[in-house]
Structure 1
Amino acid sequence: MPKTRYLKTYASRNIRGKRKVCRYLEQNEITRLFVPPTAMLSKKRLLAMLSDHGTVYVKPDIGSQGIGVGRVKQSEHGYSLDTTANKKQVHKTFGTAEELIAYLNRNNRHKVIVQAAIELDTVGPNERPYDIRSMVQRKPGGKWTCTGFLVKVGSPNKIVTNYYQGGKIWPIDKLWMRKQLPESERQDRINELRLASLRIARTLSRKRSGMHEMGIDFAYDKNNRLWVLEVNSNHPQFHPLKKIKPDEYKKMVRFARSYGRFDD
């Protein structure tokens, strides 16, 4: 499976591995509330999570752009796996959990995590799932600041929302408009996202010094509970905002340049 790598030439350290990020967040009594049940893949953990949650996601512990992410369901005939391969979505079935796990390990360069599936909130007449990228940054010696948001709206019938996998990028005010949220609720959600972003950034930066940026992917479920799906501290992308939300984009660029990032 192709490996995406960025040559980081600027000062901002990162935390490598999705499971490590979840473990750090689970150690804090507040941030643990945002983390779906997550573990390294094994037969015992896979079966337990399927029993508890019905559907799970499997993800490379190290990876990006939705590559290698899969959704697993159990049926009376075995197990089904819908997974992303480059820009395509592939459906496979397996008779036993051992066959499924062997396939996942064989087709991933890194270890795999298993995570309880969140029934994502949707938007529009086609009920497209979405998640929200919160960009948090700090200038050297400064405090963490939530510099803006972008929304990733999934392509119909895709298991991930990533732009690379056919998703659309919206400014967050377009999401609120399409959801027909009243102004008071829009502001409540922005405040909730900002507060959660700052708590996560502070928690993780206590575990890893020298961090100056994070892209935190949040999702609301069908009951409007907020979850964190992923934290990308290795070169998180915000360039799609350049055209759709230029003020927020310029703010992110100002912060990024303070720690030596000039690529966006």
Structure 2
Amino acid sequence: MSVKRYASTTIRGKQKVCRYMRGDSRVRSLVPHTMSFSKEHLFSMMERHPVLYIKPDIGSLGIGIFRLKRGKGGGYRLKEIVGKTQKSRRFTQLSDVYQAIVSARRSRLIIQQGIPLSKVGGRAYDIRAMVQRKPDGPWVCTGFMVKIAGSGKIVTNYYQGGKIVSLGSLHEQLGLTEEAGASRKAKLTSAALDIARCLSKRRSGMSELGIDFAFDSGGKLWVLEVNSNHPQFHPLRSIDPGAYQKMKSFAASYGRFNAK
């Protein structure tokens, strides 16, 4: 008996995903300012935003990400993720920052506006929404997991020392009322489904997306990244078994039997 193959197409490249979302009026306001990496774009973006993230256009696990921040007394602080290590350097000139990034990069990069993420316990967090569908069925938001950054880290990834908790646990730690938590969850669900509909119009055959959202310090919702290639949800196995089993069941329906 033949094994059913993974039946979910992907969209490769963060910049392409951002461009598709920017073209949809329902989700446009969620997308941070994003440009391809070049010296001209680095200078123009730094004029507009105090913090920038420079990321591989195609990448994972937080590897190869830079955070560039304008210093209060002048100059620039550049932090970089190398493997599981975070390095930090200071520069006086932005042109030197550009050269340092060019020397270190291993693939095509994008530049993205840095979002001042909401924090819990003094650490930044973002929220992964899993959106899936059975073949020929509608999109369904099957659950959430929250990634809380490790101490001093510029990314929230589990691989980089981040902590995974359930959405309910996050709301408890933030001291939200049941009503406020439900409102937040509904907002996340609505945005996730809008993004799934937007992107699946651009690429047929999509069956699952892992969408990383964040609230900024003022409460505005942003989309940080959309993962369409085998988005991971295995950390939920121990913290939210019900959501985990639902995601695994949906994944199996389009041939992803090896989902953890």
Aligned AA (1:236): P
1:91-102 pair list within 5 angstroms: 91-102=88-99
Superposed CA deviations along residues 27-68 of structure 1, whole A, max 9, x for unmatched, are 011211100101011222212222211111110111011111
Q: Output the CA distance in 2 between the equivalents of 1:118 and 1:77.
A: 21
Aligned twin of 1:3: none
Q: Output the CA distance in 1 between the equivalents of 2:46 and 2:226.
A: 24
- Aligned identity (percent) is 50
1:155-234 pair list within 5 angstroms: 155-234=150-229
1:255 to 242, 250, 256: 250
Aligned twin of 2:126: 131
Q: For structure 2, list consecutive stretches of 5 or more residues without a partner in the other structure.
A: none
Aligned 8 A contact 1:105 1:112 in 2: no
- TM-score, normalised on structure 1? 0.93
Q: For structure 1, list consecutive stretches of 5 or more residues without a partner in the other structure.
A: 1-8
Q: Output the CA distance in 2 between the equivalents of 1:56 and 1:119.
A: 11
Aligned 8 A contact 1:217 1:230 in 2: yes
- TM-score, normalised on structure 2? 0.94
Aligned twin of 1:5: none
Aligned 8 A contact 1:43 1:97 in 2: no
Aligned twin of 1:121: 118
Superposed CA deviations along residues 65-101 of structure 1, whole A, max 9, x for unmatched, are 1111111023465432101111111012334333322
Aligned AA (1:233): S
CA apart distance, 1:109: 2.4
CA apart distance, 1:165: 0.5
Partner SS for 2:154: coil
Aligned AA (1:73): K
Q: Output the CA distance in 2 between the equivalents of 1:94 and 1:42.
A: 18
2:58 to 47, 58, 62: 62
Q: Output the CA distance in 1 between the equivalents of 2:40 and 2:70.
A: 14
Superposed CA deviations along residues 96-153 of structure 1, whole A, max 9, x for unmatched, are 33332233233222211111110000002xx110000000001110010000000000
Aligned 8 A contact 1:54 1:74 in 2: yes
Aligned 8 A contact 1:104 1:112 in 2: no
Q: Output the CA distance in 2 between the equivalents of 1:187 and 1:96.
A: 47
Q: Output the CA distance in 1 between the equivalents of 2:14 and 2:47.
A: 23
After TM superposition, the structure 1 stretch with the greater mean CA deviation from structure 2, 42-51 or 161-170, is 42-51
1:35-50 pair list within 5 angstroms: 35-50=31-46
Aligned 8 A contact 1:137 1:144 in 2: yes
Aligned twin of 2:7: 11
Aligned twin of 1:6: none
Q: Does 1:90 align with 2:87?
A: yes
Partner SS for 1:62: coil
Q: Output the CA distance in 1 between the equivalents of 2:74 and 2:243.
A: 50
Aligned 8 A contact 1:105 1:111 in 2: no
Root-mean-square deviation over aligned CA pairs: 1.2
Aligned twin of 2:24: 28
